[in-house]
Structure 1
Amino acid sequence: MQLTGFMLAASLLLAGCGDAEADKAAGAAAGEAGPVTPGGELVWALAGTVTNDSLDAHKAGFAPTTRVMRSLYDSLVVELPDHSIKPWLATSWEISPDGKVYTFQLRKDVKFHDGTPFNAEAVKFNFDRIKDPATKASIAFNEIGPYLKTEVVDEYTVKLYFEKPFAPFLSNAAKVDLGMVSPAAVQKFGDAFPQNPVGTGPFKLKKLTPSTQVEFEKNPDYNWAPSNAKHQGPAYLDKLTVKYVEEEATRVSVLQSKQVHVADIIPPQNLVALKADKSFNVQETELLQVNYSLYLNQQRAPWNDLKARQAVRSALDLDAAIKTIYLGTSQQGWSPLTPHQFAYSSSRENAYKPDLAQANKTFDELGWVKGADGYRSKDGKRLTIEFIDTQGNREKRLDLNSIFTQQLKQAGIELKLVSLPSGTYSERRTKGDYDLVAGSQFSGDPDVLRQLFSTKGPSKQNNIARANDPKLDELLEQGYLEQAPEKRKAVYKEAQEYIIDNVYSIPTYVFQYSVASGSEVKGIVFDYPAWPVFYDAWIQK
C-alpha cells in the first residue's frame, strides 16, 4: 500500500541493497544499457499463489497477486522515490483550489490488450466500477476515498470529483490497485474477468493455470512506458512465466538449480549465501506498508481493557523473536507504518519494552489466576487468545507466532492458532468472532490507516483493529483532508502515537522484500511501494 508507480530510479535499487550489493548493482547497471538481442522467457518463482479470482486490479487485496498484476496494468501516474508524481497514462493534470476536482489530460495513443481504446470513457468506467458495491472492490475502494463521480469532458480529458479534498489520491492513482482495466473486457467476461484480465500493460495474459502458474506474453503494441523507464516500446522479454512456489526451500532450490531465473522473498538463512555467490544478484527494499501487526479484538473481553492489551505486549519479547526468526534481516517495527513510509513517526521507538514481571502483575490484578498447568483462568475460563489465520507461514509468520506462543505462556496466556480457509476466515473476521488477527497492508500513503483503524473507512465497524474511537476517526479524517504535506505529517504522527499508546495494534517486524535472480538477468527494478517490474528486464545470452 501497500502499492504505486512503475519504475523506480536506480538510486532506490541501490539504497535497498547492502554495500556489497550496491557495488554489484552499480557495476551491473553500467553494463545494462539494454540487451544485444531482445527476447526469451523469464521464469519467476513467486512466494505465494494467485487465486483464480484475483487477477482483477480492483478486487485483489493479496500481496502476491498485486506483485503479479503490475505487469498487466498501467496507472494514470507514476510515483518516484521522492514522492513526486510524474505522467504515465495521463500526460498532465490540474487540481482545483478546493482540492475536490482532478482534471486529467490523457495520452491519445494507448490501447488495451483487446485492441479497444484507452480514453476518458475508460477512466470513468474504471472509477465508477470501483465505487459500485456490486464490484466488491478490495483495496481499491479505500484508495478512492470520498470519490463522487467522473465527468468526460472530451475524448481525452476527464474530471474526477470528490466529496471532500483527498490528499492521497495521486499517490494512490499510481498503484496497481487503481490500474486501468478494459471496459469492453469487463462487459464481455463479467464475473469471469478476473480469469481473463485485460489491461494496457507491457505484458498480456497468455494462459492461466489455476493454483500452478500464470503465463504472460509481451504486448507488441506497447509504447507508453512512464518517463523514468529505461526504454520505450515493447518489453525486451517475449514471455514472463510466474510459477507459484509457496514453500521457501523449494523457491531457493529451483533458483539455484536454474529451473527459474528469479525468486522472491528469499528466506533469511539463504540471503547471505546468495549475496556472496557471484552467480546471483540479490535486490532488497523496504516494502512500504502497515507492518505485520497483532490486533487484539477490543470489542471482546478482556481485550477491551487497555491494561490487558498492554500486558500482552509486555509479555512479548518482539526483538528477540524477530532476531531468532529473521536472523538480522528484519528489524522490529515500532509504528504501524514502515520507516520509509511518508509521515512515519519515530517518536515511539523504544517507548516500551518486554516486561514479563509487569505482565504477570497486571493479570494478577485483573483477577486471572495461574493454575498448576501454568495457564491463567478466571470464573472457570482459561485466559486464551484465539488467533484466527488464513495465510500460513508466509514470511515465516507461523514460525514467529510459535515463539510468541512460548513467550505468552510465561505470562499464563494460551495462544491458540486456528488456521481457516479464506472464506471462513473472512466471515469470522467480519463478525468479530476471534480474539486476535494479524496482518500487514501494503500502501504508499498513510491513509491506509483509515482502512484498518477507522469506523469511517471502508470497513466501518468491521475494521481489522475493531477500533471504535472518535478521536482516532477524526485524526484519520484530518489526514486525508489536509493538503499541506508537513501538516499531514503532523496529523499522522499523532495518529501513530495514539494507536501505539492505546495498543490498538502491536507492530512486529519491518519487512524487507527481496528478489534474487541469476546473474544473467538484468534490468529488474522495483515499483512504488516495492514490487518487481519486468518491463526493462532482459536475459544476457
Structure 2
Amino acid sequence: MTKKLAVPLLTALLVALLMAGCGGAAQVSGGAAGPSGAPKPGGTLVLGENGQEPPCLDPHGNASSDGPVATVPVSDSLVWFDADGTIQPWLADAWEISDDGLTYTFKLRQGVKFHDGAVWNAEALKANFEHMKDPATKSPLAAAYIAPYEDAEVVDEHTLKVRLSSPYAPFLDILAQGYLGMISPKQIKEAPETICEHPIGSGPFVFEKWTKGQSITYHRNPDYNWGPKSAKHTGPAYLEKLEIRFLAEDATRYNALAAGEVDAIDFTPPQNVEDVKTNPDLGFLTAIRPGHPMSFWLNTSRPPFDDVKVRQALLAAVDRDSIIQGVSFGQYQVAQGFVTSSTPGYAKGLAGTIAHDPAAAARLLDEAGWTGRDKDGIRLKDGRRLTAYFPIAANFPAQRMQIAVQTQAAARKIGLDIQIQTPPEQELTDRSTKGDYDLTSGLWATNTADVLWIQYSSKNITTAQRRGQNVARLSDTRLDDLLERARRATGQAERTELYNQAQTRLLELAPAIPFYDDPRPVAYHNRVRDLAFTPAYPSPYFYDTWLDE
C-alpha cells in the first residue's frame, strides 16, 4: 500500500523536476532509432507485466499498484494531468470552482459514448461518483480520494454541479488518475457485479478477455475520437490489439523481452537496466512514481514503537543508502522523507535530514530506558526484551526481503530483535486489520502530497467501521491539524508551506523507515513507437503507441 482552473500543486516545482529528469517525468534513453515514417495503424503489442495482477478490473475497486495499466486502456478520466503539471480538459471540457472551494461545476464533453452504447453525460458522471463512494464497491482508493464528495446535481444534460463537504485542493488532481476512470453508467446501474471481471468504459481499447494468472487482452475501439488534448493524434488508437501478459519472475520477464516474445516489459529488473540502456535495439522509459516512498511502517500504537525514541533509534541504525545501492544495483533513489521527490509538494529542503548514525541510535535507546542486555545482546527494560514482530506474506518480493533481512541485522547491532514471520494469508490479513504487528511494508503512489493525509491522519486508522491506510497507526494532533489545513487551503503558497511543515513533523515522529522512491522502468524494442506514461500516475499509456514493423 496530490485552485484555479488549471493550476496544480507546486506546478513550478514539478516542471523543475521534469526538466531535471527525475520525478514524474518520463525519461527516454537507449539506442532506439527514429521512426521510419508516419505512424502506422495495426498490429498487436504485448507488454510483459510483473506479477502484481489486479484482483479486480473495476478502476474504482482496484488497489493494486499496477491496476491502472490494466484499466486505463478501457476507461477515460474526467481530466488529464499534463506532463507540465497542469490540469487539462478530457471528458470534462471545462469547470468552475466556487470561491469557498465547496462546489465544482463541470461542463462535459459531448459526443462521447461507452463501449455498450451508453451516452456520456451529467447523469453518467454522477453515477460514477456514487459508484466510487458506494460501500458495495469496496473501494480502498477511489472512496478515500473523493471522501469530501457529498452529492451532485444535474444542471442540464452536460453540466454537473458537485458539492464537497469541505474544501479539497487535490480534487482535480486525483480525478486525473486511472483509479477514478469512468465506467458505463448502464453497467453501474444494471450489472455492477460484472465490472470487476469485464469493465465497460469509453476508452481507446475495448476489454476482450481476462485469463487470470496469464493475460488480459483488448481490441481497438473503432469509434474512439475523444482522447486527451495533449495526445499526438485524434481518432482511434493505432494498435489493433493490446495484450498484457503477467510474468512474475524478473528473469522470465527480461528473457521474454530479449527473445522477442514480448514487445515491452514493465518494471525492468534493476540488474538489467544498464544492459537495456546500452542495447541499440532497445529503448527505455522511466519515471519516479509520486506519492509515498517504499517504506517499512512502524506501529506507533503499541510497544516498542509507541516510544518515539525507539522509532528514531531504528531509523538512525539502518544504513539506507548502502542497502538500496546494493539491492537495486545502483538504480534506485534513496528516499529523503515521507513523499517522493516527484510529488508536487515535496519539501526538497529537507533532503539529507535522515542520517545513518548507530551511535545516536544507541544513545536514544539508552534514553528510552532500554539499558540492560541479555546473553544474546538484546536490550532489556524491566525484564522485557526489545522485540518487534514483522509479519510478511509468503510471496513477499525478493528485493523487499533483502531489505528486511538487512534491516533486521542493523537493528540487532543496537540490541533490537526484529522477528520476521510468514503467517498464513488469512492470519496475515486478520493481524493487519487488528494492528497485530510492529512493522509492515509498502508504498502509496498518488500525484499529490495529500498522500500524507491518507497515510498519517488519525482519521485513517483502521477501525471496526472503516479500513484505513494509516498502517503506522499514528495519532498526532499537530500533524492532523497541518494535514487538514493543507487539503482545505485554496492558496498554493499556503498549501506548500503546510505540507513542508507536515513533512518536517513526520521526520520528528519517525513513523516509518523510508527506503526508496519507487521507479517505473519500462524497456521496449525499438519497433515500439510513442510509448508513454500517464503523468497523473506513471503507468504505460498506449493511445498514441504504434508499431514500426
- C-alpha contact 1:34 1:538 (8 A) present in aligned 2: no
Residue 241, structure 1, aligned to residue 249, structure 2? no
**Residue 472 of structure 1: aligned partner:** 479
In the alignment, is the contact (CA less than 8 A) between 1:74 and 1:199 conserved in 2? yes
Cα distance, 1:63 vs structure 2: 0.7
TM-score (normalised: structure 2): 0.91
Q: Which residue of 2 aligns with 1:256?
A: 258
Whether 1:35 and 2:39 are equivalent positions in the alignment is yes
From 521, 525, 528, the counterpart of 2:528: 521
Tell me the amino acid that sits aligned with residue 387 of structure 1. Answer: F
Candidates 536, 540, 547, aligned match of 1:539: 547
Residue 331 (structure 1) aligns with? 333
The 3-state SS of whatever aligns with 1:286 is: coil
In structure 2, distance between residues paired with 1:434 and 1:427: 10
Q: 1:477 to 1:423 in 2, by over 3 A?
A: farther
Which of residues 98, 101, 107 in structure 2 aligns to 1:99?
Answer: 101
Change (3 A) 1:32 1:408: farther
Residues 1:190 and 2:192 aligned together: yes
Task: Tell me, yes or no, if the aligned pair for 1:521 and 1:538 is still in contact at 8 Å.
Answer: yes
The aligned counterpart of 1:369 is: 372
Q: Is the 8 A contact 2:370 2:379 kept in 1?
A: no
In structure 2, what residue type is equivalent to 1:73? S
Aligned residue number for residue 434 of structure 1: 437
Give the deviation of 1:40 after TM superposition: 1.1
Partners of 2:65 and 2:430 lie apart in 1 by 20
Which secondary structure does the structure 2 equivalent of 1:434 belong to?
coil
Which amino acid counterpart does residue 534 of structure 1 have in structure 2?
F
Give the gaps of 5 or more residues in structure 1.
Answer: none
TM-score normalised to the size of structure 1? Answer: 0.92
Question: Which of 17, 21, 26 is equivalent to 1:15?
Answer: 21
**Aligned-pair distance for 1:167?**
0.7
1:382 offset after TM fit, Å?
3.5
CA distance in 2, matches of 1:511, 1:33: 35
What is the distance in 1 between the residues matched to 2:401 and 2:115?
Answer: 40
Superposition pairs of residues 51-130 of structure 1, within 5 angstroms: 51-52=54-55, 54-130=56-132
Q: Sequence identity, in percent?
A: 35
Amino acid at match of 1:492: Y
Cα separation, 2, equivalents of 1:474 and 1:194 = 37
**Residues 189 and 85 from structure 1, CA distance in 2 versus in 1: closer, same or farther, beyond 3 angstroms?**
same
Deviation for aligned residue 1:23: 6.4
Paired amino acid for 1:238: E
In the aligned structure 1, how far is the partner of 2:118 from the partner of 2:179?
Answer: 21
**What are the within-5 Å matches in structure 2 for residues 128-143 of structure 1?**
128-143=130-145
1:31 Cα deviation after fit = 3.0
Q: Which runs of 5+ in 2 are unaligned?
A: 3-7, 9-13
Q: CA deviation at 1:67?
A: 2.5
- Show CA shifts across 1:353-412 (max 9, x none): 222233234334523533333333445543222113348454822222222122222122
- Residue aligning to 2:5: none
CA distance in 1, matches of 2:320, 2:146: 35
**Aligned residue identity for 2:431:** R
SS in structure 2 of the partner of residue 148 of structure 1: strand
SS of 1:347's equivalent in the other structure is: helix
Per-residue CA distance 1:80-113 (angstroms, 9 max, x = gap):
1322111100111111121111111111111111
Indicate the residue corresponding to 1:495 in structure 2.
Answer: 502
Q: How far 1:199 sits from its partner (Å)?
A: 1.0
| Conserved 8 A contact 1:389-1:419 | yes
Residues 74, 179 of structure 1: 8 Å contact kept = yes
Distance 1:413 1:530 in 2: 37
What are the residue-to-residue correspondences of 1:190-229 with 2, within 5 Å? 190-229=192-231
Selected match of 2:317 from 315, 318, 343? 315
| 1:320-469 aligned within 5 A | 320-365=322-367, 366-367=369-370, 369-379=372-382, 381-390=384-393, 392-394=395-397, 396-419=399-422, 424-457=427-460, 462=468, 463-469=470-476
| AA at the equivalent of 1:447 | D
Supply the distance in 2 between the matched residues of 1:188 and 1:424 (Cα, whole angstroms).
36
In 2, Cα distance between equivalents of 1:23 and 1:267: 16
